[in-house]
Amino acid sequence: MRSHTPQVMVSENRQQYIPASRARIKEKLFQLEGLSEETIAGLGRVCEMLEAIWHHSSHAGLERLKSLYEDMDPDQIGTPSTEGSDEFLRIFTEALKDGNWEEISDAELQDALEGEDVFPISLDVRFDEFKTMHLFKLGEMTLEDVRKSWFGLKEEQISTDSYDRVIQIIDFHGEDWFRERKQMKYYPGAEAKGLHIRLFKTVPKLDLETVFPNTSPMMRIVDKIKIGVPMVGGLVTLGMKFGPSLFGGGTGDTSLALVGGLASALGTYILKSYLKYTKTKEQYLSQVSKDLYFKGQANNAAVLNMVVDLAEEQEVKEALLAYAFIHIEGGGRHDEESLDTRVEAWLLEATGMDIDFEVDDGLAKLDLMGILQKDGEGRLSVTSIEQTLTILDEHWDNIYDY
């Protein structure tokens, strides 16, 4: 079994998602050497204005998503319908990309189906039951843990590559589809109607298939070999010895007691292999139930709130980091490339995370607000803190111009 205190290590794959919270980023940023109390206070106010503006913008996007999703929500009182889901999925995918979510590729999914991590068991996912299926990931990490074996006497260090968060979007075929294919035993019932959205955390890459609701545990090839090869070999041996007697031939010199012992040992081995597989299957089903409780973060409409909130955090962190380093280190010192390198180096030092900072996205936000300048050689500068607060305050005041 696995211990309950895994250590998180940074994945070797660079990601654009900044896992550190906005509060942690501000805390570390304001600890930069040489910052005066006045500068820290000013940057804090700039951040407050950026947070307010993007929160308002994000709220409008969230309300639109909720409106589009309302008729598809499986948690509604009435019967959900997924007609018109294409428009919702298009806008929702845009919101995910704004928050640095990435779609899980077919290759990554295939690796999960062919591999195994926590549990040595194969799963059959019935993909044909879905009209729609999408998987998105946010961040990657490596979990360092200790696995015990030999009745708890031996410990080994293991590494598990995991996704920080995973979103699953599925839409099942209707009852008629299952009936036409004589697959009613797999029909999930009326509760499967609607567009289902699930958010999970810390999902091992090679156990990705465990988030699907329509899986069947399957015996691995190695388990089939453990059971099948001894059985076939034993049957061949017994057949060679006693087969001739069925056709009038002799039975040879081997005693019945020896043959009986061989058959008994063979049966015991086969039974032991099968029971071991059955025990592994039961442990897997128990772990899945546990994961649904501890790893499931949100369902359906609640996922929309979390996605928009995470995207808003990313937007503000990117804008704040771009503004702060241009302001603190002096206008004209950085161009886009050097700013990207500087922020990434700081993120690695401050958080231990090797992030692919989206410098172009951060600068685009500052430019949209009218607080970024660029000279003919591409050198960057920003308005002073006082000017920036005035500009942002004016932008806020003009959001509603009735």
Query: Residue 7 and residue 111: Cα distance in Å, rounded?
Result: 24
Q: Which of 4-8, 16-20, 237-241, 292-296 bottoms out in mean pLDDT, i.e. has the lowest?
A: 4-8
State the average pLDDT over residues 149-164: 73
Question: Residue 172: its pLDDT value, please?
Answer: 96
Is residue 180 over pLDDT 90? yes
In this prediction, residues 124-140 reach a mean pLDDT of: 93
Judge whether residue 11 has pLDDT over 50.
Answer: no
Q: Which of 28-37, 167-176, 310-319, 393-402 has the lowest mean pLDDT?
A: 393-402
More confident residue, 116 or 43: 43
Mean pLDDT of 176-195: 93
Q: How confident is the prediction for the chain on average, in pLDDT? A: 83
Average pLDDT for 263-275: 68
Mean pLDDT for 10-29 is 81
Question: What pLDDT is attached to residue 400?
Answer: 82
Q: Which residue has the higher pLDDT, 332 or 9?
A: 332
Q: How far apart are CA 141 and CA 335, in angstroms?
A: 31
Cα gap 208→111, rounded to integer Å: 9
Determine contact, residues 378/338, Cβ cutoff 8 Å: no
Please spell the DSSP secondary structure of 128-190, one letter per residue.
GGEEEEEEEEEEEEEEEEEEEETTTTEEEEEEEEEEEEEEEEEEE--HHHHHHTT-GGG---G
**Nearest one of 306, 127, 331, 312 to 216, comparing CA atoms:** 127
pLDDT at 2 over 50: no
pLDDT band at 266 (very low <50, low <70, confident <90, very high): low
Nearest to 100 by CA among 18, 197, 201, 14: 18
State yes or no: pLDDT of 6 exceeds 50: no
pLDDT band at 352 (very low <50, low <70, confident <90, very high): confident
Output the pLDDT for position 381: 95
Residue 208 has a pLDDT of: 87
Contact between residue 141 and residue 15 where contact means Cβ atoms under 8 Å apart: no
pLDDT of 301 over the 80 cut = yes
Please tell me the predicted confidence (pLDDT) of residue 7: 47
In DSSP terms, which residues pair with 359 in a beta bridge? none
- The reported pLDDT for the residue numbered 246 is 45
Residues 66-125 pLDDT 10s: 999 999 999 998 899 998 899 999 999 998 988 889 999 999 998 888 776 555 566 788
The arithmetic mean of pLDDT across residues 22-32, rounded, is: 92
Mean pLDDT of 368-382: 93
pLDDT band at residue 232, thresholds of 50, 70 and 90? low
What pLDDT is recorded for position 113? 82
